Amino acid sequence: MCHRILSVVLCAVLGCPMMAAEEPAWTVFNGLGHDNISNETGLLKTWGTEGPKLLWKNSGIGNTEFPGYASVTVADGRIFTAGNVKVAQSDKTADSVVFALDEKTGKEIWRYNNGSGWTDNTKFPGERGTPTIDGDRLYAYSSVGILACLEAKTGKEIWKRNLREDYIAQLPEWAYAESVVIDGSNVIVWSGGVKVSVAALDKMTGKTVWTTPPTGEIGNYASMTAFDYKGIRFYVNMTQKGVLAVNAATGEKLFYHPHETKYDINANTPYYCGDGKLLVISGNASGAEMLQLNVTDNKVTVNVLWKEPKLDTLHGGFIVKDSYIYAAAHNYKRGIWLCVKLDDGKIVWENRGPSEGAVSYADGLLYLYSEKEGNVALVKPSPEKYQEVSRFTLPEEGAGMYWAHPVICGKKLFLRHAEFLYCYDIAER
């Protein structure tokens, strides 16, 4: 979530590298709660038809031919993202590049070349994974499986590993889209491969700490969540055909639950509801399942509490707020947004809004970002009815789908489309 660091003095006493006092930050994809929820307050409750004030626009984080879909992270007055940059104007290849931008102006501070990028024009070319910030370090996992650890301030490389080669992993059909998570002293990667399915690497050196045996599936498109239950720390993520949980201490498999989808697309981060309940949602009519985890003698079993195939968000994420789920449908009805009860999976309402897309939450409102038209809607989350209060459309520039998740941090709204990043002022007047 977008959080504020309390004190530089406290940080110095504890010996940890952190940001300046009261500096807002969004350091990992989906936020620290893995839930797309920002704790920002004092934000606009309505916009005009032109939308909030545009503070700046950066048009250099990729190119039109290889648009890119990575979102942003925010730390220490800087914005971090990734995109493809063509090797030569006439060339059909591109490099995967990590960018650091000034939060106030959007101007580039540094860039880092992270090897070859994903350029298959039939499979939505461009970078997908969002860089992760941990103190004074940045971790970027490229679309083709290269993980780099950099100095966040300078972009200087600290270490790098080609995990696809190390673990003999096959690229998923639409390339890697995972944004890695730092937990304690480790960085966790769900690579898939002949040798391993999950790996914990020492975040300081990149050396392997533990691995989970392979599941027989190739890499995934989702980013993981972590939680504690019954004395066990769980790492959970979607695989090609199911839900895999491993023990955070050892990498030992805790459970595997089948959750198959058309085209093997499981692309949403699982959501931990508490009390051993885990919500997973996938597109293409696979829909939602609420899983109950049962722990006996450190052994974990799973049973399904409810299923709802109509709640089939593809990869735009979803919001759980006040015991209700808010998300877009995919195969069920395109352009339909749903409100679903968390406890039993029953649909409370369905309503046409912007075309399906990504959703975030801040200060009592949902931010809906449509994937086709670039519409941005402000919606009150309510089980009573769909209540849209404002809507505007991004400038018609750039190519491809609007797939990058919105980020609300520092009383700003960050929206990425193709090679463009827009920063809007959403502070309440």
**Domain spans of the chain, in order of start:** 3-425
Residue 30, pLDDT > 50, answer: yes
Q: What is the pLDDT of residues 81-137, one digit of tens each?
A: 999 998 877 778 899 999 999 999 999 999 999 999 999 989 999 999 999 999 999
pLDDT of amino acid 19: 40
Closest to 152 in 3D by CA, of 106, 98, 221: 98
Q: What is the pLDDT of residues 340-356, one digit of tens each?
A: 999 999 999 999 999 99
Residue 66, pLDDT > 60, answer: yes
Question: SS3 breakdown of the chain: % helix, strand, coil, rounded to 5?
Answer: 5, 45, 50
The larger pLDDT score, comparing residue 165 to residue 24, is at 165
DSSP 88-144: STT-S-EEEEEEEEETTT--EEEEEEEEE----TTS--S--PPPEEETTEEEEE-TT
Bridge partners (DSSP) listed for residue 43:
427
Bridge partners (DSSP) listed for residue 181:
188
The length of the chain in residues reads: 429
Closest to 4 in 3D by CA, of 266, 17, 19, 13: 19
pLDDT band at 5 (very low <50, low <70, confident <90, very high): very low
Could you tell me if 72 and 54 are in contact, meaning their C-beta atoms sit under 8 angstroms apart? no
pLDDT band at 3 (very low <50, low <70, confident <90, very high): low
Measured over all CA atoms, what is the biggest interatomic distance in the chain, rounded to whole angstroms? 61
pLDDT band at 64 (very low <50, low <70, confident <90, very high): confident
pLDDT band at 293 (very low <50, low <70, confident <90, very high): very high
pLDDT band at 22 (very low <50, low <70, confident <90, very high): low
Residue 423, pLDDT > 60, answer: yes
| Cα separations in angstroms, 52 against 43, 46, 114, 123, 375 | 11, 9, 34, 33, 13
The share of the chain scoring above pLDDT 70, in percent, equals 95
SS3 353: coil
Q: How much is the average pLDDT of 147-168?
A: 97
pLDDT of amino acid 15: 43
Give 49: exposed, middle or buried? Use CB within 10 Å, 0-12, 13-18, 19+. exposed
Q: How much is the average pLDDT of 208-220?
A: 93
> What does pTM read for this prediction?
0.94
Q: How much is the average pLDDT of 305-311?
A: 98
pLDDT band at 1 (very low <50, low <70, confident <90, very high): low
Q: What is the pLDDT of residues 259-284, one digit of tens each?
A: 999 899 999 999 999 999 999 999 99
pLDDT of amino acid 7: 34
Left, alpha or beta for 13 (phi > 0: left; psi -120 to 50: alpha)? alpha
Q: What's the CATH fold of domain 3-425?
A: Methylamine Dehydrogenase; Chain H (2.130.10)
Backbone phi and psi for residue 218, each to the nearest 5 degrees, phi listed first: -85, -175
Chain mean pLDDT for the chain: 93
Q: What is the pLDDT of residues 7-18, one digit of tens each?
A: 333 343 334 444
Could you tell me if 22 and 16 are in contact, meaning their C-beta atoms sit under 8 angstroms apart? no
pLDDT of amino acid 146: 97
**CA 251 to the chain's CA centroid:** 22
Q: What is the pLDDT of residues 395-408, one digit of tens each?
A: 999 999 999 999 99
Backbone phi and psi for residue 300, each to the nearest 5 degrees, phi listed first: -115, 130
Residue 206, pLDDT > 90, answer: yes
Q: How much is the average pLDDT of 316-341?
A: 96
The DSSP H or E segment spanning 202 is strand 198-202
Residue 195, pLDDT > 50, answer: yes
| Cα separations in angstroms, 264 against 22, 65, 256 | 42, 26, 16
Geometric angle at alpha carbon 76, from 74 and 79, rounded to 5°: 35
Distance between CA 251 and CA 211 in Å, rounded?
Answer: 6
